[in-house]
Every structure is written in structure tokens, then in C-alpha cells.
Structure 1
Amino acid sequence: MTLLWEVTNEHQLPLFVAAVDFEKAFDTVGHSSIWEALREQGVRNSYVQTLERLYSNQSGQVLTEVLSPKFPVERGTKQGDPISPVLFNAVLEKAMRKARQRWDEKGYGIEVEQGRLLQNLRFADDVLLVASSLHDLREMLGDLMEVAKEVGLEMHLGKTKILANSIGQEQRRTRTTVSVQNREVEFLALGDNTMYLGRSLTLGDYHGTEIQHRISKGWNKFWSLKKTLCDRSHSLKARLKLFDATITPAVLYGSCSWTMTAARERMLQTAQRRMLRKFVGSNRRIVPIEAEEDGASSVSSPADSGLIDFNNDEEDQEQLEPWLDWIKRLTHTAEDQMRMEGIDDWVRQQRRRKWQWAGHAARRTDGRWSTTIIHWTPTDGRRRVGHPGKRWIDCIDHVMSRCSNVGRGDWFLLAQDKPTWKQYESNYVNIFV
């Protein structure tokens, strides 16, 4: 989605996305549809028959004040069964194949490779439909509703959302909903967002919104662990390791797809430093009062920084180290301890994750969209006048051109050799781009 959004914006192409929600997806798929889907997709008949026996003759009862009569269970996958997601994926693939036949005939989707149209992105029951016009997307939603019903799935149109980039918003005008088979689907404004796979998805400020969302998730995790993180009976080393093992993953989830700028890196750095200062827990030092020529004290107070310290009276404040010096000292103490323990700050960790994922994507040969779209340059559309916005691929190109003199995009070939790619990782992490 990152590259799709960036390239369509750069070339001023409309992009429409529908975040589809299925109502009680795993509980509604028909058993007969499961067995048909597995056989159509080449699963050995002996395996299918084994699964059929596991699901046959199931019944249920409802207990309220009395126990209801037994009723047959002929829909849904078993909760907690590790094979249930696989069975659901097979059913959804059966439905999507039928829908794609219609979409291919009508040319719906976005052509990111000659002869291949990007029409949907899926992870289990989380589905995104992609189109180049609102009309196409409306038709795709209608087709998906029809084929989904055939396998027992019902789209939840109240939770399904339509998004468009800045160019696509021109087709939105003032409308807030779109009619799909006589039912209304919400059409989000450019700055609005919806959740997809744990990320805040918007086609407005794509990266800024998500980074703010991840920082918010990090603070939620921090407050849930504050008692332990601020407990000085535990060593600072142990608390830093807990911080890195719990809060860092919450903040950097999906960060390999972020396009970072200096301002976005400062957002990460500022949030991490604020958290670290809260559990380092060092008091302000007592320092000598240095009188200036006019007789006033040169020691600053919390009020000088727009902050108020309610724990000290005016006489005590005059003897404490400057407020900003105290904040800097806490920050440096925590960062020095992190370096001693081999823990990178969030900015460096984000860069490392992006570099590793880029190499992984470059080496894949299974035709995934996430690899194919890296090379995508639209044949239509035109760039805006002036410098284009920063793209996900730009910082990799920049570092590789400085370190190995490779041309733009040639890093893809260099990444095929994993040890060689690993050698350049530290250059990318340490060079500010």
C-alpha cells in the first residue's frame, strides 16, 4: 500500500480503496463450500474426507434458564483450531477467483505490471479492494457481495469503508456515502482513517497518521507497565530491556514500510525520550547559585520552561539545577545505558528493519505484489511541477549511490546476495538521509 499510494500521488493518478469487513466471517462459511474450495484448489481427496469427518454430525445447544433442543451445526470453522484460518482462506479464495474473472473481463484494478491487474490485497478476512475509479470500485464491491453470499459470507457494509487519495477525492465532491446494490457504504474524507491489520489506514497523510497512531499505542503499553518500569527496586538495565521488549515492538509495528523524513524521525525520537525520562527517576541536583551582574540568579526554574514544579517552594527552586539541564541529563543517562546494553534507539531500529525487509522483498521470486510494485512506473499520468515528495525507495537509492556508486534501482540486484546486502546495513542505519 505504501508504494501504491506514493506512486499514484506522484503521477497524479486517482486511487480508490475499499476496506471490506465480513460479518462474523469465520462463523458463517458453509461447510459444503469449504470442501468444494479445497478440492478445486488441489488438496488431496483423502485430506478433504478427513476434515469432512471431523466436521460431520456436529450439533449445538443453547443454555439459558433451560437447555434448548439440539440443532445441527453446518456453518463456520472451529474456534481455536490452527487449521481454521487455512480453511477460511480456501473459501475466500474460491469466492475471489470468481470475482476476479468478472473484474479481469472489465479491466477493473490498477495495472502495475504488464498483463497483471492489482485488484485486491488480503490477509485472512481483512480485504482491500483497489481500483482506479469510483465506478469500478462500486462494481467490484457489488460483485464481491454476490460471490461472497454463495459461500456463506456476508459483507458488513456498516463497517466497510471507501478511501481515495487527493486526486480521487475530486470524484467524491460532497458525498459521504456510495450506493452499492441499494445499500450505503461510507466514503471517508481525505483526512479520515480506518483500521487495517492494526494500522491506521488513510490516503491523506499516509505516514504521519500511522506514526502518530503507533506512538499512541506505545504510550498505552507504557502506562500499562508504568508500575514496573518506574520501580527502582529493579535495575535500570532490566527496566530498559523490558522497555525494548514490550514498548518498542508496539511502536515499530509495520515500520519497515514507512517513508521517513527528518521530521518523522524526530517524532519517534521525542516520544522515546519522553518515555525514558519518566522511568530513569533521577532527582534534580543542588547546584551553587551564580549571581549575575544585576544581582539576579542565573538558575532557571520550571516556570522558565513553561513547566511548574509543585514539589518545591520558591526558595528550594533557586538551589536546583536548571530545569532544561536536568531533562538533558536524564535523557543522556538513559541513552548511555541503552548503548551500554546494545539497545538501539527507535530511529536506528526503524532504519534497520526497513533495510532488512527491502533485501527480503528483493530476493523473493514468488511474484508477490509487494515485490512487483517496487519497480512500478505508470505509463500514464504525469508528475507535478517541482520536487516530488520523498518516496520509500529514495533513501535506499541515496545510501547505495554514496556507498557503492550503484545507479537508481540497481540496489535490487545487489540485494540478491544476502551477505553483501548485510554489509551495507550499518551504512544505511548510520547515514542520515
Structure 2
Amino acid sequence: MLAHELVRYMNSPSPKGRACIKVDLRKAFDSVRWVFLKEVLRSRNFPASWIQLILQCVQTASFSILVNGSHVGFFQSKCGLRQGDPLSPLLFVLVMNALPYSIEASVQANKLGHFIKSPNNISHLIFADDLIVFTDCSLSSAMELQYLFSSSKAYGLQLNSEKSQLFCTSNAELLVERLGISLSTLPVQHLGLPLQSGYLSNTSCLPLIDK
């Protein structure tokens, strides 16, 4: 609901325009770097014994594949978190939060422009691996986002430019060129609800009510 209200605010007058980026990450679970996961756990003050146990669970798993109906393996992976493992979503959320943290730090350092200038300015919304970034349409903001998305590759979070979506009120060509994301049009689905410039109808809210 908050995402919808922010998108609805996009068309309000703004000197630098407003941009909304719906971020899609390329095979997010499969590409998490274990070295970075270890550093995240340390930064969260996990005991060393816990970190060792967690990494043993992550790093020692073996995999087998079917080739022409026959099992081939076993072999170990070099990165990533196993899907279906109850521990993996929790670890992924910890790793995923590194990108929003960097975004917020850039906003606080005035490197990334404000979407709405207010005491409670919202630069992004995140739920698991669903991330939406709100900023202005300036060149400086586009360059900072380009840097942040490029830096996130170091810990295994790579922007999927083909599936990510860009919505903006001005400087569309500049943002498309810098970020490599195609310009999209509203409405678009987000967590079961449409993001659109108008008000939500009762019918649009039914999926949320059913949950």
C-alpha cells in the first residue's frame, strides 16, 4: 500500500522529476558470496561458533544432477544458498539488506536525490528480494545508482536489467542510458497489488484481503 501511495505521488510537481526503479536481481539465491555472508554475520555480532556452524551448513552441501535418467555427482557449489533449506531465506535477507543500507547511506550523504523531501524521506522499500528504489531524475542520482548496482556484484547481488523496470517523470533517456533499464509504464504488479497513478479500486485490493 505504501509503495502505491508513493508511486501515486510521482506526478506531483518536482524540479528534478521523480523516478521509481523496481529492481530485479539475477538468480539472487544462487549467487550470494559466502565470504560476504561471513562478514555480514560478523557485523551483526553473531558469535564465532554460530558463524562457523552456519557456514558449515552452507558450504558443505553436495549436489547431484540427472543426466539421461541417471544420477551424476556428487559435487559442491562455490557460492549461493540452497533453495528449500529453512535457513536460506533468513541468511538471504541479511545479505540482501546490504544493498538498501548502501542506498540509504548515499541518500544521507546527499549523493542520491530525494524522491520526497521530508523528515521521513523514503528512499526504498524492501520485502525479501523485492526492492523498489525512489529517487529523483538527476544525472548525479543516476550515476550514484549505477555505482551502487555495480558494487553490489561484489557480494553476489547482480541487477537483472532485462527484468528490472524504470518509471520516471523526466530525463528518461539519461536514466535508461546510465542504468541500462528499459522505461516501463504503469500499472505494474507489486506483491499482488497494482502500482498505478490513480486510486486503488475495491477489486484491486481483493488479493490483499484474501491473504
Q: TM-score if structure 1 supplies the norm length? A: 0.42
Q: Which runs of 5+ in 1 are unaligned?
A: 215-248, 255-433
Could you tell me which residue of structure 1 aligns to residue 151 of structure 2?
147
Could you tell me which residue of structure 2 aligns to residue 45 of structure 1?
48
Could you tell me which residue of structure 1 aligns to residue 191 of structure 2?
197
Bigger Rg, which one: 1
Task: State the shift of 1:253 in Å.
Answer: 5.5
Distance change (3 Å), C-alpha of 1:19 and 1:102: same
Mapped to 1, the partners of 2:139 and 2:189 lie a distance apart of 23
Counterpart of 1:122 in 2: which secondary structure?
strand
* 1:128 pairs with 2:121: no
Task: State the shift of 1:152 in Å.
Answer: 1.1
Distance change (3 Å), C-alpha of 1:57 and 1:83: closer
Please state which structure has a larger fraction of its residues in helix.
1
How many pairs were matched up? Answer: 205
Mapped to 1, the partners of 2:30 and 2:63 lie a distance apart of 13
Counterpart of 1:110 in 2: which secondary structure?
coil
Aligned with 1:82 (options 52, 65, 86): 86
* 1:25 pairs with 2:28: yes
Q: 2:155 is matched by which residue type in structure 1?
A: V
Distance change (3 Å), C-alpha of 1:94 and 1:128: same
Mapped to 2, the partners of 1:186 and 1:33 lie a distance apart of 30
Aligned with 2:59 (options 37, 41, 56): 56
Could you tell me which residue of structure 1 aligns to residue 207 of structure 2?
250
Q: Which runs of 5+ in 2 are unaligned?
A: none
Mapped to 2, the partners of 1:179 and 1:37 lie a distance apart of 32
Counterpart of 1:207 in 2: which secondary structure?
coil
Distance change (3 Å), C-alpha of 1:87 and 1:177: same
Q: 1:95 is matched by which residue type in structure 2?
A: L
Could you tell me which residue of structure 2 aligns to residue 119 of structure 1?
123
Distance change (3 Å), C-alpha of 1:159 and 1:23: same
Task: State the shift of 1:143 in Å.
Answer: 2.6
CA contact (8 A) 1:59 1:70 kept: yes
Q: Which residues in structure 2 correspond to 1:382-397 (within 5 Å)?
A: none
Could you tell me which residue of structure 1 aligns to residue 114 of structure 2?
109
Distance change (3 Å), C-alpha of 1:124 and 1:80: same
Could you tell me which residue of structure 2 aligns to residue 207 of structure 1?
200
Could you tell me which residue of structure 1 aligns to residue 183 of structure 2?
187
Counterpart of 1:79 in 2: which secondary structure?
coil
Q: 2:6 is matched by which residue type in structure 1?
A: L
State the Cα RMSD in Å.
2.9
1:4-37 deviation per Cα after TM superposition (whole angstroms, max 9, x unaligned): 3455555x23431100001121121122221211
Could you tell me which residue of structure 2 aligns to residue 4 of structure 1?
6
Distance change (3 Å), C-alpha of 1:111 and 1:30: same
Could you tell me which residue of structure 1 aligns to residue 160 of structure 2?
156
Please state which structure has a larger fraction of its residues in strand.
2
CA contact (8 A) 2:193 2:207 kept: no
